[in-house]
Amino acid sequence: MKNASRQTVCGYKSRREFLKLSGGAAAASALAGVAVPHCHAGGNSTIKLALVGCGNRGTGAVANALAATGGPVKLYAMADLFPDRLQGSLSNLKKAFPDRLDVPPDRQFVGFDAYRKAIDCLGPDDVVLLTTYAAFRPMHFEYAVQKGVNVFMEKSFAVDAPSVRRLLRASAIAEKKNLKVAAGFMWRHSKARQAVIGRIHDGAIGDLHTLRIYRVQTPVHCGRRSKNDNELVFQLRRPVCFLWLSGGFHVDWHCHNVDVACWAKGAWPVAAQGFGGRCYPEAGNLFDHYTIEYTFADGAKLFAFSRHMNGCWQEYADYAHGSKGSAVIMASLAAANPRIYKSQNMTKENLVWEYREIEPNPYDVEWQLLLDAIRQNKPHNESRRAAEADLVALMGRMATHSGAYLTWDEAMNSNYQFVSNIDGMTMDTPAPIHSDADGMYAAAQPGVTKEY
């Protein structure tokens, strides 16, 4: 099993299929310290991993790390809010990598402070995987930076503007400390996407004026909360359905496509406005459909479509349009299959280029790059770009929920915050939001809600 990939452990072709079947930090000033040279592991030195967040995303990320070449890697500590999730992850990984795990009971930590205990097990050449939901990402990242530990952090990265700013402050300190930080935007390391976006940047479709990205698929619902359910635990067990935990699916899921579109444009948008609503009250406190128009400084547009409903047309794809032609950046989740056309009609007779190579799994590539950077002491820090891409997704959600036209500066400087003291949360903390008498949660009301 030494060459097992994330797909080997999961048994599925993609993270999307895998997820379908898934069963108080120091202040920024305390982080700063004095920048010191960061020693690096030699080729024969073992890099230890600590997994913080033992769901399917984290378990899959460990599998990718353990599949990397260049030197030994082992899982050394684990942390989660729930013991059953930690044990499930450990059991799955043991089946695939029995000789790569060294996680005895005294390095298995449970609870809101478990992340600290797991990170404290690591040294300066090691890596903590931050794969909990985004509400906790800035706090966990901050502590890892304080401790001088390298980081892999999954998307999404923040749920509101104050947490984006917290992430950016820690990112700046990580840069000064020469820490290696990988972010879970694996498509940035996709050879197919690099090929088509490189051609777009070289002018293959002329001046880029329009981008379209789609993630329209079946819903994920949390159902009704029973009066007997602990409300905080109910929400923690169903994080994708609650804005305060995941940022909502436009942020947590669609941020991949948002990031790729902005990469193709070579810029972040300067403003956003959007439309959306909810047809399924079982969707937590989210909308279940969004149409967002982003505007770039030169007037170019990015249209982002998210919908999670049954019985509807489905697509998961990204497109670009320019003054001389158009491009498919991603044809489907199963295969990017990028193409360039000499007109806006994406037909066979207009095809001028397509990617025909077999590309390496970008989930594996992102880990290989991170571990190589640690061993060779090369600069590698994706945290700032990840935080800024997260803000783009947040800006669209904030504008849609509020019914507002929002600028980048208004979004970045917003003081709207879902949870003011995430660092102090315990299992006895009241849930940040509460259901009605029927166990349902209210959604935003554009024109009434002000989420910025």
Domain positions in the chain = 6-187+365-380, 190-360+392-424
- The answer to whether the CB of 123 falls within 8 A of the CB of 93 is no
| Average pLDDT of the residues in 36-51 | 73
Report the alpha-carbon distance of residue 381 to residue 141 in Å, rounded.
13
Report the alpha-carbon distance of residue 22 to residue 56 in Å, rounded.
6
Provide, rounded to the nearest whole percent, the portion of the chain with pLDDT above 70. 90
pLDDT of residue 23: 30
pLDDT of residue 1: 36
Same CATH topology for 6-187+365-380 and 190-360+392-424? no
- The answer to whether the CB of 235 falls within 8 A of the CB of 242 is yes
Asked if pLDDT for residue 312 goes beyond 60, the answer is yes
pTM above 0.85, yes or no: yes
Asked if pLDDT for residue 225 goes beyond 90, the answer is yes
Band of the pLDDT at 22, cuts 50, 70, 90? very low
Average pLDDT score, the chain:
91
Query: Encoding tokens for residue 341?
Result: 């056309």
Give the CATH class of 6-187+365-380. alpha beta
C-alpha angle 305/310/311, rounded to 5°? 95
Q: Which residue has the higher pLDDT, 25 or 320?
A: 320
Report the alpha-carbon distance of residue 236 to residue 246 in Å, rounded.
10
Report the alpha-carbon distance of residue 399 to residue 406 in Å, rounded.
6
Give the CATH class of 190-360+392-424. alpha beta
Asked if pLDDT for residue 2 goes beyond 50, the answer is no
Q: What is the pLDDT of residues 334-361, one digit of tens each?
A: 999 999 999 999 999 999 999 999 999 9
Q: What is the pLDDT of residues 46-71, one digit of tens each?
A: 999 999 999 999 999 999 999 999 99
- The answer to whether the CB of 21 falls within 8 A of the CB of 12 is yes
Q: How many CB atoms lie within 10 A of CB 298?
A: 11
Band of the pLDDT at 9, cuts 50, 70, 90? very low
DSSP letters spanning 297-340: TTS-EEEEEEEE-TTS--EEEEEEEESS-EEEEES-SS----EE
Report the alpha-carbon distance of residue 234 to residue 21 in Å, rounded.
19
Asked if pLDDT for residue 129 goes beyond 90, the answer is yes
Band of the pLDDT at 41, cuts 50, 70, 90? low
Report the alpha-carbon distance of residue 250 to residue 256 in Å, rounded.
10
Asked if pLDDT for residue 184 goes beyond 60, the answer is yes
pLDDT of residue 39: 52
Asked if pLDDT for residue 27 goes beyond 70, the answer is no
Band of the pLDDT at 40, cuts 50, 70, 90? low
- The answer to whether the CB of 320 falls within 8 A of the CB of 210 is yes
Which phi and psi angles does 390 have, rounded to 5°? -60, -40
- Burial call 200-210: b when 16+ CB within 10 Å, e when fewer: beeebbeebbe
Query: Encoding tokens for residue 286?
Result: 């989210």
Q: What is the pLDDT of residues 268-301, one digit of tens each?
A: 999 999 999 999 889 999 999 999 999 999 999 9
Q: What is the pLDDT of residues 365-406, one digit of tens each?
A: 999 999 999 999 999 999 999 999 999 999 999 999 999 999
pLDDT of residue 42: 56
Report the alpha-carbon distance of residue 386 to residue 373 in Å, rounded.
18
Give the pairing type, strands 73-80 and 108-110: parallel
